[in-house]
Amino acid sequence: MATKSLKARHNGLAEKNEQLKILNGGIFEEGELPYFKDKIALTGHYPLRPKKLEVFQINLGYMCNQVCEHCHVDAGPDRKEIMTRETMQYCLDVIRNTGAHTLDLTGGAPEMNPDFRWFVEEAAKAGIQDFIVRSNLTIIRANKKYHDLPEFFKRHNVHVVSSMPHYTRGKTDKQRGDGVFDKSIKALQELNAVGYGLPDSELKLDLVYNPSGAFLPGDQVAMEKDFKKALKEDFDIQFHNLFAITNLPISRFLDYLIASDNYEDYMYALVEAYNPSAVENVMCTNTISVSWDGWLYDCDFNQMLELKVDSKIKHIKDYNEDILNDRDIIISQHCYGCTAGAGSSCQGTVA
Amino acid sequence: MAKSYYDPADLRKFGKITEWSEELGTKFFDYYGKVFEEGALSAREKSLIALAVAHVVKCPYCIDAYTKDGLQKGITKEEMMEAVHAGAAIESGATLVHGVQMMNKYDKLSM
């Protein structure tokens, strides 16, 4: 299990150009598999264009207390990229005026940003309909200063979305690190204790499932049933929805695919599972992603590949929703991850 | 032409059997797809049955396919191995139950 990010290990795949070279070359360049652009052109979806903005997603920084094998952010304790209060201020100006109904904070572990609580307090005042914080759960148990996070989330009516790759210890720890399962279970119990995730509770607690390996997620509804049954029976834990998210072939997951000789099979599986109706609702068509340093992207994955939006508005300080919405979305072969099977987004399936 | 009988990459080409007999190929894949849908048995239960049978008929393509399918469905390795044992037990039982025939014949022929 890695304890450092690709960046800290000076791994070539920490560089976006190296990743894009792989995604644009090999089996795609040789014509064995079609480029994403050509595939979506068959159903008249090229160029991919935004619809109404619904989700404003902010990445508060790449620092994390975990070093998960599949992390597309290449997050970890050694990543120092953290959003400053000045950039948060720009974000708040946008949040107060945006047409988006959902505000989605992610990371890294967003809670590790020293201005996290201030930012949540300010953002909550804007009265956005759905205010999501993506929490890795273990952060709640990582240090005393985070123990009251469930209460803090409750106070600001935050919708908690947490990663949980499996309801068994073995699979969870293999992907996310030793001890992660037990800490996650404890954190979920604490969230339940303050009212999160209970059947009629307005305090929303959803879980995110990522496959722990080179395979696609199964049926989201069936997985949710299995998770609910196992977590209730074994640990008396309840939650609302399970989002099944496909691992996209970038960053650490791409490194894993190549090292385990699974890259080609995985790309074949993604392309074979291509679903044109998932393209209709792919998340880049209703989302704007903001990086820790204020740049704007079509999604969190494009952010990690440093593919900034194709618009004259590229930074949060110049934000203009109308101009920004009139753009072509930047795509590459990693996008097949969002259109496979029932589709995949930060909110789970889309088709 | 490959020098070995089994190539893992051939599994991806399974659908091509339809090219040489469209009607039968299409009927087969329609039937196959229908069988594995959620029904009186869950898709999860059917995946485990398929994995057990894959071992009994010793089909390397099916073993690859249903190990992956099991992972996708969140099936644990303990469940998968128990399914393989269920298949193996029936297979060895099928051999051993013929021992009764051997015993019958032995008794009949012996004084």
Closest chain B residue by Cα to residue A166: B74
What pLDDT is recorded for position A166? 84
What pLDDT is recorded for position A347? 84
Question: Which regions of chain A does DSSP assign to beta strands (E)?
Answer: 55-59, 102-106, 130-135, 159-163, 205-209, 242-244, 287-290, 296-297
Tell me which chain A residues have a C-beta less than 8 angstroms from the C-beta of B38: 222
- Under an 8 A CB cutoff, do B74 and A213 touch? no
What's the mean pLDDT in B36-65?
A: 96
- Domain limits, chain B: 21-109
- Residues in chain A with pLDDT < 50? none
Tell me which chain B residues have a C-beta less than 8 angstroms from the C-beta of A222: 38, 42-44, 73
Tell me which chain A residues have a C-beta less than 8 angstroms from the C-beta of B44: 222, 226
What pLDDT is recorded for position A343? 86
- Domain limits, chain A: 12-339
Tell me which chain A residues have a C-beta less than 8 angstroms from the C-beta of B68: 215
Sheet holding A102-106: strands in order across? Answer: A242-244, A205-209, A159-163, A130-135, A102-106, A55-59, A287-290, A296-297
What pLDDT is recorded for position B3? 83
Question: Among 3.40.50.10490, 1.10.3720.10, 1.20.1290.10, 1.10.287.180, what is the CATH number of B21-109?
Answer: 1.20.1290.10
What pLDDT is recorded for position A270? 96
Please name the member of B38, B68, B72 whose beta carbon is closest to the beta carbon of A217. B72
Asked if residue B14 has pLDDT above 90, the reply is yes
What pLDDT is recorded for position A173? 78
Closest chain B residue by Cα to residue A265: B9
Mean pLDDT of chain A: 93
What is the distance between the alpha carbons of residues B105 and A89, in angstroms, rounded to a whole number? 91
The CATH code of the domain at A12-339 is 3.20.20
Q: What does the DSSP assignment read for A101-153?
A: SEEEEESS-GGGSTTHHHHHHHHHHT--SEEEEEE-SHHHHHSGGGTTHHHHH
What ipTM did this prediction achieve?
0.77
Helix-then-strand count for chain A, H and E? 16, 8
What pLDDT is recorded for position A1? 62
Cβ under 8 Å to A: B residues 33-92 = 38, 42-44, 68, 71-74, 76
What pLDDT is recorded for position A214? 95
